[in-house]
Chain A
Amino acid sequence: MRSVWVFHLDTGACNGCEIELFDALTPYYDAERFGVKLVGSPRHAHAVLATGPLTRQSYHAAKEVIKAMPPKPRIIIAIGTCACSGGIFYNGYPIHRRPEDGRKGSEYPRRGGIDELVRDLRDEGEPVGPVMYIPGCPPRPEEILYGIALLLGLVEKRVRPEEHEAAGLEVGRPPIDERLRLTLRERLRHVIGHFDADRVLEDFMGLVSRAKDEEELHRLVEDYRSRKDERLGACMELIETEYLRWKRGGGERS
């Protein structure tokens, strides 16, 4: 297929995906390069761009839309985590779920979203084409372009199912006491949040393993404070104080 004409079908999305979707159609990202054209009627469409977790209200309308499309190729492009599997709304009361799927359970891949409708339609004997899943909450415009390009065969697939056997008993040992590391991590998390806390703590452990004594550690910390921005510098000072308190007090009893 050279060019897909698409119809946008919103099944109860929060409009995050819509914003990204229309971004993908602007001149900067320009999905029309691939022949993607937004059409006003499902009767003209090769594909539906489905967004949203498929609410009970939109279920019947969405069914009508897909039935109104020409029987071939009837491609479904599920945009966003909600359309792929229900997303954050997966067990909400207004979400349509097939009775046998339920809302709990531990099957994987996780069920929900536009899949429920597609399976209903297939059970009714309606022809439905392939479903392209583009997860993301919301997906970036690049992600949407990538999904469409993948559908058109322009790019290679980059994901595959991953299974790992974690058999070894080696869990890794940081340069400082594990108990102390977790304590410092919690302390930092309350000050600057986990994202920066993890980075500062990693840098601090690097300094600890480099420094031979407390004076050298203090010099390294001062050097770090002069290089980084004030927030990270202040946190570094804080955990240095805590670290030394722990060291001198001989553990938690201090």
Chain B
Amino acid sequence: MGVTLRYPFVSIEAPPEYRGVPHIDPELCIGCGACVNACPPDALMRIDDLKNGTREIVLDIGRCIRCARCEEVCPTGAVKMTGRFEVASLDRRDHVEVVRLRLVRCEACGEYTDYTERQVVKALQILPEEEYDAEEIKAYSRICRRCRRKLSALGAIEASRRFAP
């Protein structure tokens, strides 16, 4: 056998810094979809189910070109390239990875919004509390865009009445 690598019968490690298939850490993923926007071959998808209030982040490693753009843009470090490369399969369904997250339900109208519970938690982590009214922001984050706009308009009308009755 001389020079030949005895490969499938011995296990080998990928070289350091090798870009293998990516993997989504479901503990860290907030479902923001930054990776979906960055993915050049659309291997990552964001599928919202507004009826049941779930968001699916789907990764198909059979479409992935391993460019690591998702790893670069992920704000929480949930997507990481792994050293794994032994991903051949007879069934394409083996290549799919799904992370299911919960969407925020609007407290005013009861419909689901287009952002997840975890996104709200993360956004509140980033906001500097001393510069904003944290309580007001927290209350507003539980309300969908349409209701928020309605509230702001009503507030403006109310305020203008005070000055010009």
**A residues lining the B interface (CB < 8 Å):** 27-30, 33, 81, 84-88, 90-91, 106, 108-110, 112, 115, 130-137, 139-140, 142-143, 145-147, 149-151, 154-155, 157-173, 178-179, 182, 189, 194-195, 198, 251-252
CB distance A132 to B126 under 8 Å?
Answer: no
Chain B interface secondary structure, helix, strand, loop or mixed? Answer: loop
**B7-49 Cβ-contact flags toward A at 8 Å (1 or 0):** 1110010100100010010111111000000001111010100
Whether a CB of chain A sits under 8 angstroms from the CB of B101 is yes
Q: Output the least CB separation between B44 and chain A (Å).
A: 10
Whether a CB of chain A sits under 8 angstroms from the CB of B88 is yes
If A109-B92, A162-B98 touch, does A142 touch B41 (CB 8 Å cutoff)? no
A135 CB contact (under 8 Å) in B3, B76, B95, B101: B95
CB distance B99 to A166 under 8 Å?
Answer: yes
Whether a CB of chain A sits under 8 angstroms from the CB of B60 is yes
| Alpha-carbon separation in the docked complex, A161 to B130 (Å) | 45
Q: Output the least CB separation between A81 and chain B (Å).
A: 6
CB distance A108 to B58 under 8 Å?
Answer: yes
**B residues lining the A interface (CB < 8 Å):** 3-5, 7-9, 12, 14, 17, 21, 24, 26-31, 40-43, 45, 47, 58, 60-66, 68, 71-72, 75-77, 84-90, 92-102, 117-118, 121-122, 125-128, 130
Q: Output the least CB separation between A36 and chain B (Å).
A: 12
B88 CB contact (under 8 Å) in A27, A29, A133, A178: A133
| Alpha-carbon separation in the docked complex, A95 to B17 (Å) | 33
B41 CB contact (under 8 Å) in A88, A158, A159, A179: A88
Interface pairs (9), CB distance under 8 Å = A110-B43, A133-B62, A133-B90, A139-B85, A142-B7, A143-B85, A155-B8, A164-B24, A194-B72
